[in-house]
Amino acid sequence: MLNVPAAAFPAPGSQQRAARGGRSKVPLKPGRSLMDWIRLTKSGKDLTGLKGRLIEVTEEELAKHNKTDDCWICIRGLVYNVTPYMEYHPGGEGELMKAAGADGTDLFDQVHRWVNYESMLKECLVGRMALKPIALPKESTSALSEEKKCLNGMLPESKIVGTSKSLAPSYDWFQTDCSVTVVVYTKQKGMNSEMVILDYEDSRLRGEIIIRDYSYLLNIELSNAVQEDIAVHVAEKVGKVEIVLKKIDNIPWKKLGQPLESHNSFIKRTDQGLYYRKCKLISKTDVTHDTKLFCLLLPQSTHFQVPVGQHVYLKQIVTGKEIVKPYTPVSCSLQTHFKEPSCHDGACLFLMIKIYPSGLFSSELDRLQIGDYIYVSNPEGSFQKSQVQTLEDLFLLAAGTGFTPMIKLLNYVLTNVNSLWTVKLMFFNKTEDDILWRDQLEQLILQDKRFEAQFILSEPSKEWNGKRGKISSSLLSEFFKRSKQDSKVLICICGSAPFTEQGERFLKDLGYCKEEIHSFTA
Ligand code: FAD
Ligand code: NAP
């Protein structure tokens, strides 16, 4: 279809040579080259006949458009009006007409799987196929047949439970001599790398793609071994996620692998179950007399970033029992110019954890030695960055280790939210010695004039000149003052459950509405 160099590409034996010896090119009329096509697509001409509207296309409707002067083709669930493209197609009208009014995915994949048709035919996009309801298949046999379908080039439909089917992602794969690329078509704009969580362990590839409250899962026992060094690319605008696996043996793969539990499912995120990977403790440093900063190294093949405001679960075996507790990863510093130290080849997770001498989990954590392992789950949490995107005032109300979610949030807003006027932190602790990162907070006050902090102690020493007491309506109203009347404000609260509940109540009494308050809870 496109001008593919004749010699070494595609590599012999690669998927891209699937149409070996077969297809012929037809001479195109003058003014019908690829460049002419690109010019036409950029001309602003209505190429679909729908004036930019996107529609849902039923199979019946698709079938009606099967003539050279009215030809629609479906590729991977998206329908294109290829009528204006007929004369530009190097393979000629005849080839395109083979898929007229039908699903051309198979044919397309046999001939030009590598062509970026999404971009080539962007202006011809009519809409998306209206999906038929899908009965939930029986686990093992249907998963196998789905896999088979995929390997034949047809994309399997995901097992969708309880959401709009048109949202469901799908996947595909191709290989070269030395790599295998798994491509997930999320059908979502605004994807980013935080939404992709990838693990590879004991020849099992597990990829979870988070789309709002839903999770799409790839869970496959790969047919051949791959290197630990796995690349993940996210094409944000088109919502395509590419997982590039490096082969170890450089031989052609007959299939991607064996589907495992819940493979290719698209279900509520909360129904997906937590996945844990083993992380290595690489450092442990004191923050205060009872709180430590733990640095955990993720496995090299793991890709995950914990979004602002989300927590993970740590899992340990304590006296023969599996115990799980939530913790909120933090940045390693409050100084925005401070770069996270590099952790060998992988990524690190920093956790600020208070050790309770009588605490079941934290005291066990404290006993971990450098080089020991602990299990870390996927991130969770309801906070969305969109809540702070156009904010003018951000008020943070923290008690003790309830400061942890505020750390990444502070770094994020101070570097990314241009509309921001003020960030005020009200930080409750028992004593001066309990204040986490007090030096860094005081430095930040000097560095950034938008930021203010107030430390309030419930058990202060006689020397303490600052505020004292417990959370109260008067303390809150004194400090949390909007930068202007009706400013766009968000108040984030975190501490023990009773502290958070009191905070919510006082703020509501002070006139803040539900949407202006976010409480961090598990
Ligand atoms: P436990 O055995 O549960 O009890 C420890 C001691 O604390 C005992 O002395 C007990 O009397 C007392 N205690 C029990 N419950 C509470 C309570 N709710 N408040 C105050 N004292 C109590 N902790 C961190 O240090 N860092 C974090 O980043 C962090 N993030 C969290 C994120 C979320 C979403 C949630 C819900 C909690 C978070 N926690 C965090 C708290 C953490 O999950 C544990 O509760 C904490 O480490 C205590 O566990 P433990 O098993 O050691 O203590
Ligand atoms: P702490 O030292 O016991 O207390 C810190 C401050 O909070 C003290 O001034 C204390 O006052 C005050 N406080 C505690 N409970 C209160 C209540 N019921 N009413 C009014 N004030 C109260 O705190 P900590 O040991 O660090 O515990 C932090 C809490 O935050 C834990 O419960 C932890 O689970 C929670 N946390 C939650 C998240 C999350 O994301 N949800 C994250 C991190 C931590 P007093 O001296 O009067 O008690």
The CATH number of residue 457's host domain is 3.40.50.80
Ligand 1 contacts CB of residue 16 (under 6 A): no
Contacts of 483 (CB under 8 A, 6+ apart): 392, 393, 421, 422
Closest ligand 1 atom to 363 CA: 52
Q: For the whole model, what pTM was predicted?
A: 0.75
Bridge partners of 74, per DSSP, are 79, 103
In this structure, is residue 229 part of a structural domain?
yes
pLDDT beyond 80 at 7 = no
In this structure, the answer to whether residues 434 and 478 fall within a common structural domain is yes
In this structure, is residue 16 part of a structural domain?
no
For residue range 93-150, what is the model confidence (pLDDT) as tens digits?
888 899 999 998 888 877 765 666 777 888 899 988 886 654 433 333 343 334 333 3
In this structure, the answer to whether residues 267 and 355 fall within a common structural domain is no
**Which ligand gives the minimal distance to the CA of 435?**
2
Which residue, judged by its Cα, is nearest atom 43 of ligand 2? Answer: 402
d(CA 80, CA 47): 10
In this structure, is residue 47 part of a structural domain?
yes
Number of domains in the chain: 4
Q: Are 155 and 105 in contact (CB under 8 A)?
A: yes
Angle at 187 between CA 379 and CA 378, to 5 degrees: 10
Q: Which of 332, 361, 380 to mutate to test the pocket of ligand 1 (most atoms within 8 A of CB)?
A: 361
Ligand 2 contacts CB of residue 354 (under 6 A): yes
DSSP for 26-81, written as a single string:
-PPPTT-SHHHHHHHHHTT--SSSSTT--EEE-HHHHHH-EETTEEEEEETTEEEE
In this structure, is residue 144 part of a structural domain?
no
Q: Which of 294, 325, 352 to mutate to test the pocket of ligand 1 (most atoms within 8 A of CB)?
A: 325
Least confident of 34-48, 295-309, 452-466: 34-48
For residue range 207-251, what is the model confidence (pLDDT) as tens digits?
999 998 899 999 999 999 999 999 999 988 888 999 999 999 999
pLDDT for the residue 18: 32
Q: Are 131 and 39 in contact (CB under 8 A)?
A: no
CATH code of the domain containing 125: 3.10.120.10
Q: Which of 499, 505, 506, 519 to mutate to test the pocket of ligand 2 (most atoms within 8 A of CB)?
A: 499
In this structure, the answer to whether residues 298 and 362 fall within a common structural domain is yes
Residue among 337, 339, 473 nearest 397 (CA): 473
State whether the Cα torsion 245-250-255-259 is positive or negative: negative
Question: 244 or 55, which is more confident?
Answer: 244
CATH code of the domain containing 267: 2.60.40.790
In this structure, the answer to whether residues 349 and 421 fall within a common structural domain is no
Q: Are 143 and 259 in contact (CB under 8 A)?
A: yes
In this structure, is residue 161 part of a structural domain?
no
Alpha helix ranges (H) inside 175-242: none
Ligand 2 contacts CB of residue 471 (under 6 A): yes
In this structure, the answer to whether residues 258 and 294 fall within a common structural domain is no
Q: How far is the CA of 243 from the centre of ligand 1 (A)?
A: 37
Residue among 271, 275, 61 nearest 160 (CA): 271
In this structure, is residue 336 part of a structural domain?
yes
| Structural domain for 96, as ranges | 25-129
Out of 380, 401, 433, a domain closes at: 380
In this structure, the answer to whether residues 217 and 292 fall within a common structural domain is no
In this structure, the answer to whether residues 434 and 486 fall within a common structural domain is yes
Out of 380, 410, 439, a domain closes at: 380
Out of 228, 249, 271, a domain closes at: 271
Which position has the token pair 């733990």?
294
Closest ligand 2 atom to 495 CA: 30
Average pLDDT of every residue of the chain: 86
What values do phi and psi take at 502, rounded to 5? -65, -45
In this structure, the answer to whether residues 396 and 355 fall within a common structural domain is no
In this structure, the answer to whether residues 230 and 297 fall within a common structural domain is no
Q: Residue 509: count other Cβ atoms within 10 Å of its Cβ.
A: 11
d(CA 376, CA 275): 8
Ligand 2 contacts CB of residue 521 (under 6 A): yes
Bridge partners of 127, per DSSP, are 55, 79
Q: Are 210 and 239 in contact (CB under 8 A)?
A: no
In this structure, the answer to whether residues 280 and 265 fall within a common structural domain is no
Residue among 279, 187, 172, 162 nearest 218 (CA): 172
In this structure, is residue 284 part of a structural domain?
yes
For residue range 299-324, what is the model confidence (pLDDT) as tens digits?
999 999 999 999 999 999 888 888 99
In this structure, the answer to whether residues 298 and 367 fall within a common structural domain is yes
In this structure, is residue 139 part of a structural domain?
no
DSSP assignment letter at 16: G
Q: How far is the CA of 317 from the centre of ligand 1 (A)?
A: 17
Q: How far is the CA of 183 from the centre of ligand 2 (A)?
A: 45
Q: How far is the CA of 325 from the centre of ligand 1 (A)?
A: 8
DSSP for 119-188, written as a single string:
HHTGGGEEEEEPPPP-PPPPHHHHHHHHHHHHHTTPPPPPEE-SS-GGG--EEEEEE-SSEEEEEEE---
Ligand 1 contacts CB of residue 318 (under 6 A): no
Count CA within 13 A, CB hemisphere, residue 279. 31
Angle at 173 between CA 169 and CA 174, to 5 degrees: 150
Ligand 2 contacts CB of residue 404 (under 6 A): yes
In this structure, the answer to whether residues 202 and 103 fall within a common structural domain is no
Ligand 2 contacts CB of residue 428 (under 6 A): yes
Q: How far is the CA of 359 from the centre of ligand 2 (A)?
A: 15
Q: How far is the CA of 21 from the centre of ligand 2 (A)?
A: 71
